[in-house]
Amino acid sequence: MQRVEDFLADQVQKAPDALSLTDSIGTRWSFADLDAASTDLAGQLTKAGVQANDRVLMLSENCAAAVAVLFACWKLDAVVIPVNARQSATEVDRVVTHASPAAVLMTSAVSPEATVHADRMQAQEITGTFGTLQLATPMPSQPDPDLSDVAVLLYTTGTTGDPKGVMLTHDNLRFGGKASASLRNMTPSDLIYGVLPITHVFGLASVVTASCYAGASVRLEARFSGAKLFEALNEGVTLLSAVPQMHALLMQYTKEQGLDRLGSPDLRYVSSGAAPLDPAWKRKAEAFYGIALQNGYGMTETTAGVCASNNSIGSPDISVGPCLPGVEVMIDDSVAGGHDGTGEVLTRGAHIMKGYYRNPEETAKVLSSDGWMRTGDLGKIDKNGFLHILGRSKELIIHGGFNVYPPEVEAAINDHPQVIQSAVIGRMKDGDEQVLAFVQIAEGDNLTAAELRDFVRDRLTGYKRPAQIILGTALPAAPTGKILKHKLLDTFADQLA
């Protein structure tokens, strides 16, 4: 079986001294350096009792040491459980209880939260060519032969109750890395901005794995800021994959510097994922970057990628594009009424997860015997074979008997020049679902809810208009930048009518 660490071995053989990655604390590693660091760490994990098919929990934020952890575990045939260190003790302990890791590694050098977890777990500091990490061994080694082909367990974020650990195999990650590198035409001369957390599938598959396969280098950043991204894009970064919230905050920062466009000399590819595009916003983004904005679609269970666009600048296409090579998609129009070809998106191929760890019941709900996976997303396929995502089936709002798709309402709101981003959800009240909009504006802006309501009046038919618009300078977000819609009602409870 070919494995993810084979990508690194190939680069060490071809170009050992080529730059592999840098990080925010000054680390600068060649592929040979990464190989040596991960081998060093693998030896220390072996001394700590880690065996093949054990689980190793990695509490981290983006840094070189975190990448060394990935490859060290894979060299031991252990399974990595990447978890963002900013998760709470309760969230982390839930994963520990479910996955029974033989070791926990924490990237304390770049993350104060990782240090807090290390203290409460009574971790010991270890050092080596990989840098400094904290190591705890909360449970004895418990190899699980069912994990022999699994590279990572990615626990889904924003959930309550029992966690679901997505089992992605070495074949999954190799497929995802190759697909991402091919889509972006990655070469060894590329420099990729790595702020998408590698504890999440987008950063793990589309940045770290893809760059290692292609021999490209990564500039790792522990935390997002518009200022740091602006600086990086003017210092040689050629590829930027981000979520809409990151694009919006970068544009806001650039505007505050008195500029209306980026003007990066080297940027050649930029993409947006995790949310549907709006035509007006796409035109605005392309004018800002000066190059085409690509869109894509995927999820943790599909190793990030399902579809991706490859449009020229100015294209009116706002779909997520055609299927990636080797990927199939179909629409189940029995869901959401099947209006105009709309239904639940199903997909199958080499990108599909093995299943949910220790959870056959949930696995059976989404994976069919013939390989199709239910995504839970609503979509439709246009005459060109391109997929359009309309939102999560669970987020569909039924107001007055009409279907309201939150992305459509968000797109209308985001057209306003003072809006940074927005999130729309439904709330049951008096026997019907209300449309609620939560809108982020810049500090000091004087936009009012009444003005915004007037702005969207001509852009949305009556039943789609929000019953209430709540303005704020920040919305609850995950480390990826993705808005946590399930926290909106609690966050703004004092402002709800």
pLDDT in tens, 50-95: 999 999 999 999 999 999 999 999 999 999 999 999 888 988 998 9
- Residue 160's pLDDT is 42
- Is pLDDT larger for residue 138 or for residue 338? 138
- Tell me if residue 82 falls in helix, strand or coil: strand
pLDDT in tens, 334-381: 876 556 788 999 999 999 999 999 999 999 999 999 999 999 998 999
- Is pLDDT larger for residue 59 or for residue 410? 59
Does a structural domain hold residue 181?
Answer: no
Question: 374 phi and psi, to 5 degrees?
Answer: -80, 120
Does a structural domain hold residue 273?
Answer: yes
pLDDT in tens, 427-444: 988 777 899 999 999 888
Q: Is 338 exposed, middle or buried (0-12, 13-18, 19+ CB in 10 A)?
A: middle
Tokens for 221? 């950043």
pLDDT in tens, 254-296: 999 999 999 999 999 999 877 777 788 889 999 999 999 999 9
Shared domain check, 442 and 361: no
Domain that holds residue 163: 5-171
Cβ within 8 Å of residue 367, ≥6 positions away:
352, 355, 373, 374
Angle at alpha carbon of residue 433, lines to 244 and 365, rounded to 5°: 70
Shared domain check, 124 and 17: yes
Shared domain check, 345 and 430: no
- Residue 428's pLDDT is 84
Does a structural domain hold residue 331?
Answer: yes
Q: What is the DSSP string of 38-69?
A: HHHHHHHHHHTT--TT-EEEEEE-SSHHHHHH
What letter would DSSP give residue 240?
A: E
Cβ(121)–Cβ(85) below 8 Å: no
Q: Please, what is the average pLDDT of the chain?
A: 92
Shared domain check, 11 and 159: yes
- Residue 158's pLDDT is 40
Q: What is the largest CA-CA distance in the chain?
A: 67
Does a structural domain hold residue 208?
Answer: no
Shared domain check, 386 and 401: no
Shared domain check, 90 and 46: yes
Question: Span 410-420, mean pLDDT?
Answer: 90
Q: How far apart (Å, rounded) are the C-alpha atoms in residues 366 and 387?
A: 20
135 has pLDDT over 80: yes
Q: How far apart (Å, rounded) are the C-alpha atoms in residues 45 and 335?
A: 48
Cβ(195)–Cβ(242) below 8 Å: yes
pLDDT classification of 397: cutoffs 50, 70, 90: confident
- Is pLDDT larger for residue 47 or for residue 246? 47
If we measure between CA atoms, which residue out of 197, 194, 195 comes closest to residue 87?
197
157 has pLDDT over 60: no
Shared domain check, 154 and 89: yes
Shared domain check, 430 and 370: no
Give Cα separations from 310 to 170, 471, 492 (angstroms).
Answer: 27, 35, 39
Domain of residue 20, CATH code: 3.40.50.980
**Beta partners for 99?**
none
Does a structural domain hold residue 344?
Answer: yes
Shared domain check, 453 and 370: no
| Long-range own/partner contacts, residues 207-210 (CB < 8 A, 24 or more apart) | 207/180, 207/241, 208/67, 208/70, 209/4, 209/7, 209/173, 209/174, 209/176, 209/177, 209/180, 210/176, 210/177, 210/178, 210/180, 210/181, 210/184, 210/186
Of 110-114, 230-234, 257-261, 482-486, least confident by mean pLDDT is 482-486
Percent of the chain with pLDDT over 70: 97
How many CB atoms sit inside 10 A of residue 368's CB? Answer: 11
The residue out of 393, 424, 452 marking a domain boundary is 393
Domain of residue 291, CATH code: 3.40.50.12780
Domain of residue 411, CATH code: 3.30.300.30
- Residue 253's pLDDT is 94
- Residue 484's pLDDT is 87
What is the total count of domains within the chain? 3
16 has pLDDT over 50: yes
- Tell me if residue 167 falls in helix, strand or coil: strand
The residue out of 347, 373, 393 marking a domain boundary is 393
Does a structural domain hold residue 469?
Answer: yes
Shared domain check, 389 and 417: no
Tokens for 369? 């015997």
Shared domain check, 336 and 413: no
- Residue 159's pLDDT is 37
Does a structural domain hold residue 385?
Answer: yes
Does a structural domain hold residue 188?
Answer: no
CA 430 to chain centre: 36
